[in-house]
Each structure stands twice: as structure tokens, then as C-alpha cells.
Amino acid sequence: MALILQRLVAPARRGALKHSTYECGEEVEGSAWTQFNIRFYVIALVFLIFDVEVVILFPWAVVFKDIGLVAFVEMLIFLCVLTIGLVAVWRRRDLDWVKMVLPYARGRYARLTRDPD
Amino acid sequence: MDTFDLLATIIKVVIVFVTILVTIIILGLAERRVSGFMQYRLGPNRVGPWGLLQTVADGIKFLFKEDIIPDNVNRPIYLLAPVITMIPAFMTFAVIPFGVPLEIAGHTVKLQVADINIGLLYILALTSVGVYGLVLAGWSAGSKYPLLGGLRSSAQLISYELAMGLAIVGVIMVSGGLTFNEIITHQQATSWNFWKQPLAALVFLVAMFAETNRLPFDLTEAEQELVGGYHTEYSSFKFLMFYMSEYANVITASGFMVCLFFGGWDMPFIDEKALGHWGVVLSVLAFVSKVGFFLFLYIWVRWTFPRFRYDQLMRLGWKVLLPLGLVNIFAVGLWMALRA
Amino acid sequence: MTTILFYLFSALLLGAALFVVLNRNPIYSVVGLVFAFMNLAAMYFLLEAYFIGVLQVLVYAGAIMVLFLFVVMLLNVQPDRPHPGLIHPDRWWFGIMALIFVSLFLLLIGQGVRALLTSPAEDAAGMGSVADVGEALFTSFLLPFEIASLLLTVALIGTVFLAKKKV
């Protein structure tokens, strides 16, 4: 009930803030929306899977005390399977942001020839 | 729900809301004064005693500034984004308890706006929705810098949300409940979770800084490269809304941290519940001072660590914090299973 | 109070859902869908199924829709132009799809009506709580749970591989 009340309070706040703005225009140079790098999408994809995993961990954590060792082993199997996924993504370097690999890198760039991990 | 409870809830909502606003004002000043102190300069000290009214003056100034909406924006989304950012920022604090229950005339008043039975998940859920404010603000501005800032911030937020969730799982495992009261009572009965799970506390602390977009993780608004990040094209009151949301998030995150790992309103070696009204006062003071410490820590860290590079940020989130969180869960689980 | 809120959230939910379908700008649709999910979560809260409500926000609104938003922004789809003509001899499969959809829809409505006619199931106090879910997941539904982990892993690897092939 208190939460609902909170919900009811929120719109008033919104209203008050909105009314205090006043409209005026000025031309600002801008540019169009462009396509962006797919790695953001991949990150969101990986996040989605692991978010589901974390969400499943919550009920497990709550009942963990009652069930004990059995629950621990069960979750261990679950996490191991998902860790395979993480390792696979890791190995594919989808978690890396710097993808550039220099063929003849030297000096401070030498590490770009290697796998950063 | 009877009239008394309803009244108490309304009063609590008002008190918490006003307190957050006041804390934002103080924090805005403290940030500049402490920064000044750390850099051997004074910081704003002219408006009001010790410059206390500086933030108020700034706020009023924001109100009277021209509200510029660039022509190139996607208007509905542009107008919506600050609101989307602000609502979760102010709603999250509702589930954080700030003191032991107060006894008035036979009624028990919980010092907490809403005690729902999944308080922790409520905060996580609202945090995850907070992403939209940033990414939509960045997208709708129709300009390159905000777009980049918004994208970066959304990828950052979702990455660190995982680490945050994993750190919280460890805490839930030992306390066996998802409400803040269970967690705090458990810590009061044994010891603070920080002593039991320093690793989880560390992961949570780092994730907390990243989730609130504060230095050293403020890549969303890295001014040297992105001008102002997602809010570059915002001005006047809409900018103020982002600004206030950021501080509100900082306050809530500090409260969250205190409740999870530092015993919430628990004062060590003292049984607050046995002390009556004074115990309530004491517990609120304990909570406020702990939160105050973390607010200070935010400013302290700001001037201690340089900003991460984006690839370093992603590496830290996915390759360090995520495995560390899993290791923590494994360690806690093993320890609990073997001990039981 | 609960009834009023139920109708309020239902109305908002339906409105948001219609907005998602009817408007032509994909970004607006995503925002509308997020709003619809929030209302759905609010309805779960009214039913005191807090855990499911929070999952709705956390997973659907917080994770899946972020992905949707990224896809829409990534592809940078311009608002759709009206189709030249929906009914066309080459589009015969549209008709089949519509038929399937309508029959599914009718089936669902039939189920709903039947559920309304029978007496509602008794739910225990605190049903749908996190502890209940956990208890069920780790005792009765253990095998599906472990298989779910396999499914998630396969989904993860598969989607990431597919996503990367295109570049």
C-alpha cells in the first residue's frame, strides 16, 4: 500500500517540475542518427543471459540456508554450465573492447599483437 | 490500513523526500568545498554561512535560465528522458530503512517508507530502468556527443549491474531474506557483512560507483572527449533534473551499501531496541553518519583516481568483477554448506 | 482502492500496448513497450506477486528492452512508410499468418473465459514469494532448472556467434 502511495505521489512531483520549465527555441547545430558499433549490441546480449542467471540466483540464495549442500551442488552445476558460455564469449574476445591487432607492433604497442588476456 | 498508518506513511514520504532534497543541496556544496579542500583552495563560501546557500542559489539560477531545446531533437523523447531519469532516482530510497521502528501511542512505525518483502530486488529493478533515461536522453538529442555518451553509459550500467547483483546474492545467502530489515537484523545479531564478505563489499563498492556514473567511471560525461555526455543538449531545469538524479542516486547507493554491508542503522555494541526513543534517535544518527561517510568517499575517490578508459572499464566489469562475484558466491556457499 | 488501481493500470497497459502496435516510429514503440511492462509489473504487485512483478521489470524492462532499443538504434530504422498494399497475390502467407494468429487469440480468450467461469484456485498465503519459487525450483523442478542453464548457454553462444557473423 505504501508503495502505491509512493506511486501516487510521484506524478505530483513530475507536474511541479514540468510546469517550471518554460519553452524557448534556439537553433543548435546537430547531426543525424547514425549506425553504431555492434559491440554494444553484443554486450547487451551477453548481459541479458547473465541477468537471467542472477535473477535465478536470488530465490536460490533465499532458500539456500534451508536446503543446504544439495542446493549448493545444484547451483554449482548450473553456474558451471553458464561459465562455459562466459568462457566461450571470453575466448572469442567479445568482451574485449580493443579489437585492433597490429601485425608488426613494437615497443609500447607490442601487446596489441598478443591476446590481451 | 488504518488512518494512523496512512498518515504515518504520508509523513514519512514527505520527510524522506525533503531530506533527500536537502541532502542533495548539501552534497552539491560539500562536493565543491571538499574538492576545494583537497586542492588547497576554498571553494564557494560567500552565499550564506559557510556558503550553505550556494547550491540553493545555483538551483534558482537554473530555474531562471533559458530552456533551450535544439531544433534537431526528437522532441517527445527529449522531454521524457529527464523525467524517466528522475522518477526511479527518487523512488529507490523508499525501501531503505533509516532507523529502528519507533513506538508511538501503541503503534509501531517503521522508519522506512515502504517495507515490501523484496526490498533489494525493488532497488535493482528500478536501477535497471534508470538506463533508459540516459540512453534516451543521449539518443533524442540528435547530436553525436550525447549519443556516444548515452550508449557508453547504458553499456556501462548494464555491465556493472551484473556485478552488483552477484555481490548482493552473497549477502542474501547469509541472511536468507530479501528485505532490508532481515538483512540488518541478521547483521546486528552476528556481525556486519563487511567483515564476513569483504570481497562482495569491494565488488559492490566498485559497481556502485559505476552505476551512479561517478568518477572514476564517469565516462558518460567525460568532458574532454564528450563535452557533457548524454546531457550536452540539455539546459536549464532539465539539466538540473539530471544533476539532481545523479546526486539522488549517489545518496541511495550509499544507503544501499550501508544497509547491505555496514549494518544499516546498527550501532556496534549498543542494543538500540532496548533504549526506547533514544535508541531510535541513536540508530538514525548511526545511519546518517554512515551514509555521510560514503558520500564523502564519493568525493574523495573523485579526486584520487583518474578516469578509466572505456576498454579498461569494460574489462574491469566483465573480466574482474563478474568472476569475483561468482567466486564470492562460491566461497560463501561452500563455507555455509560445510558448516551446516 | 485495489479495484480502481487495477482498472487504472489495465487501461494504461492496454493504451501502451496499442501505442506500441499502432505507431510507426520504432523507438517510440520500444518506450511504449517499456511503459506497458511497468504497468504489468504494477498489476503483479497488486496481486501481491512481488517477485514476479520485480522480475518483469528487471528482466523484461531492464534487460530485454535495452537490447531492443539497441537493435532499433543500431539499425537506425526510419519511421515506416505506409505499405503500398497489404492485400496482394504474392502476400498469401500474410493471410495464413493472420489466420493462425486469430485462432490462437480466440483460443486464449476461450481459456480466459473458461477460467473465469470455474472457481478460482485456492492460493496459499504468501504464494509466489521468493522463498516459494526457490523451494519449488530446487526440489520439484530441478531437472528443468538445470536444462535451463544449458538452454541459456546455447542461446548465449548462438546469438553472439550469429551477431558477429554479420559484421
Three-state DSSP state, B264: coil
User: Same domain, yes or no, for C132 and C64?
Assistant: yes
CATH number at residue C36: 1.20.120.1200
User: Same domain, yes or no, for C36 and C6?
Assistant: yes
Question: Could you tell me the mean pLDDT of each successive run of 10 residues in chain A, 117 residues long?
Answer: 45 43 40 62 82 84 78 82 82 68 62 52
**Chains A, B: CB pairs < 8 Å:** 170
In a domain, B202, yes or no: yes
Question: Could you tell me the mean pLDDT of each successive run of 10 residues in chain B, 340 residues long?
Answer: 75 84 85 84 78 78 68 76 83 81 70 76 85 83 74 84 88 82 82 83 89 76 65 73 86 89 78 72 86 89 81 83 88 80
In a domain, B52, yes or no: no
Residues A71 and A81: beta-carbon distance below 8 Å: no
Contacts of A55 in chain C (CB under 8 A): 55, 58-59
- The answer to whether B128 contacts C31, with C-beta atoms less than 8 Å apart, is no
Peptide bond into A11 cis (omega under 30): no
Domains in chain B: how many in total? 1
pLDDT for B129: 85
Domain that holds residue C153: 2-81+120-163
* Residues counted in chain A: 117
Domain that holds residue B208: 69-339
When scoring B326, B330, B334, B339 by the number of chain A Cβ atoms within 10 A, the one with the most, hence best to mutate, is B326
When scoring B79, B128, B183 by the number of chain C Cβ atoms within 10 A, the one with the most, hence best to mutate, is B128
| H helix intervals, B197-276 | 198-211, 223-226, 236-261
Q: What is the ipTM of this complex?
A: 0.80
User: Same domain, yes or no, for C47 and C13?
Assistant: yes
Domains in chain C: how many in total? 2
CA dist B295 to B198, B261, C48, C99, Å?
20, 15, 35, 59
DSSP class of C76: T
In a domain, B266, yes or no: yes
pLDDT in tens, C24-76: 788 888 889 988 998 898 888 888 778 888 888 888 888 888 888 888 877 76
Mean predicted confidence (pLDDT) in C79-96 = 64
Provide the whole-model pTM.
0.81
Rg, C-alpha atoms of chain A: 25
Nearest by Cα to B123 from B242, B224, B207, B7? B207
Nearest by Cα to B217 from B313, B321, B311, B298? B313
User: Same domain, yes or no, for C103 and C58?
Assistant: no
User: Same domain, yes or no, for C27 and C41?
Assistant: yes
Q: How far is C63 from chain A (nearest CA, A)?
A: 5
| CA of residue B19 relative to chain centroid, distance | 14
- The answer to whether B158 contacts C63, with C-beta atoms less than 8 Å apart, is yes
CA contacts within 13 A on the Cβ side of B6: 4
Q: Retrieve residue B106's grid coordinates.
A: 501503541
Which chains are within 8 Å of C by 3+ CB pairs?
Answer: A, B
Residues B262 and B99: beta-carbon distance below 8 Å: no
Three-state DSSP state, A24: strand
Residue B69: beta bridge partners?
A25
CA dist B152 to A43, B138, B165, B213, Å?
11, 10, 20, 11
Residue B66 CB partners (closer than 8 Å, separation 6+): A24, A26, B235, B236
The one-letter code for the residue type at A67 is I
Q: Which of C 92-121 lie inside 8 A of B, CB atoms?
A: none
